[in-house]
Structure 1
């Protein structure tokens, strides 16, 4: 568990890496944003690469717990379309709450291990197989499609020029996929 100082630096680094990318992120800016000196940053993490890796690791563990908690079959929802709607809406909230981390994964994919993305895809795929055992869509493709759609829809929401209404787009996505999945 990180110390208070480390956590403040990790939080600032998450924001800066998300906004500027690894190459554009300056340790001086991260240190200033965290309220500490660059010397403190290097004393705690030694290198920018170590800091980046810690940001990825710490956030992955936390988000995976939240992600897995969403992948629970709700026995009260007997309509598969309702189950799918709940899943997509909950995942949209998760992506929005953790957008900075997701943004790093998307834009720094050449720098990070594919296993991070694969972990999310595999967990979602396994859930979809349980909930919709008879659908004809490849669950890997569906998992990737859901997560990709949610990333871009939340990215749209965070930009100054929004191209469409978030809630309407998600509802259309759910309806379209429900038809394709024959739910």
Structure 2
């Protein structure tokens, strides 16, 4: 089986598992989404559980790579520029990985807790290195930012809009910068 075929199946599975959850997702719907046969899916992955685990592992690898890049590439001059860049980068990160987050947070996954602990700790260290303010606890800033962006991104992903995404993000950035400046 070619790499392209495997990639089609994994991308389709990510989409279906994120929308329906593991229990409600069927291999038939995944095959249809990928444009391939169910036989091809089973030939490569053997079981739905194997496919699900591959999706989780691939998602974690992609997320970790993107997070490493995000933490390495952000070097604005002022704290305000840093914070704005960090929040915008996190918003893009969540948008790029919302299907993965949906799976991790909605399924009973043994990899969730250590992964989230590492994720929060890495972001907290990063914030601690760049934001020097006695008014902001780095971990609280990380938890607040990630929770806020997760909620906004999830609502956008599901086509709901209790608030305007772009406007809410701008207001959040202004509020966080106001706290740092005060």
Fold-level similarity (TM above 0.5) = yes
Aligned residues: 180
- 1:170 match: 169
The answer to whether the 8 Å contact 1:71/1:127 transfers is yes
1:19 has 2:19 as partner: yes
The answer to whether the 8 Å contact 1:14/1:100 transfers is yes
Distance (Å, rounded) in 1 between the aligned partners of 2:143 and 2:110: 18
The answer to whether the 8 Å contact 1:27/1:48 transfers is yes
TM-score, normalised with respect to structure 1: 0.87
Provide structure 1 residue ranges, at least 5 long, that are not aligned to the other structure.
none
CA-atom RMSD, angstroms?
Answer: 2.0
1:148 has 2:182 as partner: no
State the Cα deviation string for residues 78-132 of structure 1 (Å, max 9, x = none).
2201110011111111211222112112212x22421222232122111111112
Distance (Å, rounded) in 2 between the aligned partners of 1:172 and 1:143: 17
Relative to structure 1, is the Cα distance of residues 6 and 173 closer, same or farther in structure 2, using a 3 angstrom cutoff?
same
Distance (Å, rounded) in 1 between the aligned partners of 2:73 and 2:45: 40
Structure 1 residue 134: deviation in Å?
4.1
- 2:97 match: 98
Distance (Å, rounded) in 2 between the aligned partners of 1:146 and 1:11: 28
- 1:160 match: 159
Distance (Å, rounded) in 1 between the aligned partners of 2:60 and 2:28: 25
